Amino acid sequence: MNSKNKKKVITIKDIAKEAGVCIGTVSKFFNDRSVVSEKLSAQIQKVITKHNYRINVSASSLRGKITKMIGVIIPDSSSLHFSFVIKEIEKLANQFGYSVLICNSENNFNTELEYINVLKSRNIDGLIIIPSEENIRILERLDLEKTPVVLINRIIKNSNVDSINIDTYNILLEVIDYLVSLKHKKIAFIIRETHLIQSMERLRGYKDGLKKNKITINKEFIIDEQEVSLESGYKSMVKILNLDDKPTAVIVYNDTLAIGAIKAIKDYNFKVPDDFSIVGFDNSFVDGYLEPTLTSLDFPKEEIASKAFSLLLARMNGDKSLPKDIIVPSSLVIRNSTGENMKID
């Protein structure tokens, strides 16, 4: 084989030279990005991406009994935003030489416990989990000194682990204000998982938003859905459509349920947003392709994945600081499924 055709093997030294930094800075970048400035991190990342560089896992493992594997447990692999979060975590993990073992619990607590045993047997270096229940038992099977854990979108009291959550309370206040500005006073809420703290916060934001705008809470307007599916969203919306006193706007727990709700509205010969304004939650990539396009509360997937992996990486590299509870702000992405209420309440 002609030596000219051989692809040069890129080393950390090459990355440092091209990025204009010292080798030590590149090493710190791989071990704990948080100690490297954003400017230098961007320079190093640009070179890594250009050359599709991956660190040498076997050489790194010589430093100690590490496997360069992390586990990720999610409750529903069909969820659009969870799938995106996994994709981002995998991308970040690969950049640092980690393999990712993905487990789908299908919202089953016992399945999650079984997966933790499986992941323990694989000697994972860390775990990112979105558990189906906020139950401390999910962590009791792990030696948190040896296997750090980061929770996403869940709060387990007294868990002593890092967590990343959305500021769902304040964003619900914002969406109520937005709908009221469109002259909506009858606002329904299709919610689920009301036993989870995040869902409780959404419901609290909804109720406080109504109170703030001097709107009486109508219990019939709160639909507690047990499943996340297009069919469930459809059925929940049918319940609303069968009410004698119908709302003019509906906030829906996530985009999947919202899409099902819109289908029900159309099947019953109503229109969105003329008859019902609809607000989803996720800001999924499909929202801009629906008819009408879906107004949705953003689930900042990339930021959540980045912060979760950075926290886990720091712990795997020996960070012993107190657990961090990071709250990520959300935002309302306005599209065509919401409009001014033209009816007289």
- Residue 267 tokens read as 């099947």
pLDDT band at 258 (very low <50, low <70, confident <90, very high): very high
DSSP labels, 60-97 = HHTTTT--SEEEEEES-TT-HHHHHHHHHHHHHHHHTT
Of 280 and 138, the structure prediction assigns the larger pLDDT to: 280
Compute the C-alpha angle 201/204/209, nearest 5°. Answer: 125
Given this model, what pLDDT does residue 230 score? 93
Q: Are 191 and 253 in contact (CB under 8 A)?
A: yes
- Judged against a pLDDT cut of 80, whether residue 217 lies above it is answered with yes
pLDDT in tens, 115-165: 998 998 888 999 999 998 899 988 988 888 889 999 999 989 888 899 999
- Judged against a pLDDT cut of 90, whether residue 84 lies above it is answered with no
**Cα–Cα distance, 61 to 146 (Å, whole number):** 15
- Judged against a pLDDT cut of 60, whether residue 4 lies above it is answered with no
**Cα–Cα distance, 193 to 155 (Å, whole number):** 13
Lowest-confidence range among 10-14, 195-199, 218-222, 318-322? 10-14
Specify the pTM: 0.79
Task: Identify the bridge partners of residue 37 per DSSP, sorted by sequence position.
Answer: none
Q: Does domain 3-53 have CATH number 1.10.472.10?
A: no
Task: Identify the bridge partners of residue 340 per DSSP, sorted by sequence position.
Answer: none
Q: Which long-range contacts (CB under 8 A, 24 or more apart) does 37-46 make?
A: 43/19, 44/15, 44/19, 45/95, 46/19
Compute the C-alpha angle 216/217/219, nearest 5°. Answer: 140
Mean pLDDT of the chain: 89
**Cα–Cα distance, 192 to 79 (Å, whole number):** 14
Residue 317: which residues within 8 A CB-CB, separation 6 or more? Answer: 31, 32
Q: Confirm whether 3-53 and 66-165+301-327 share one CATH topology.
A: no
Query: What is the second-level CATH architecture of the domain 168-299?
Result: 3-Layer(aba) Sandwich (3.40)
Closest CA to 286 of 255, 320, 254, 263: 255
**Cα–Cα distance, 119 to 126 (Å, whole number):** 9
Class of domain 66-165+301-327: alpha beta
Strands lying side by side in the sheet with 149-152? 99-104, 69-74, 126-129, 149-152, 162-166, 325-328
Given this model, what pLDDT does residue 64 score? 44
Closest CA to 197 of 220, 165, 222, 221: 165
Given this model, what pLDDT does residue 7 score? 55
Domain range summary for the chain, segments of one domain joined by +: 3-53, 66-165+301-327, 168-299
Compute the C-alpha angle 226/118/124, nearest 5°. Answer: 110
pLDDT band at 55 (very low <50, low <70, confident <90, very high): low
Compute the C-alpha angle 318/322/326, nearest 5°. Answer: 105
Q: How many residues does the chain have?
A: 345
pLDDT band at 344 (very low <50, low <70, confident <90, very high): low
Given this model, what pLDDT does residue 45 score? 84
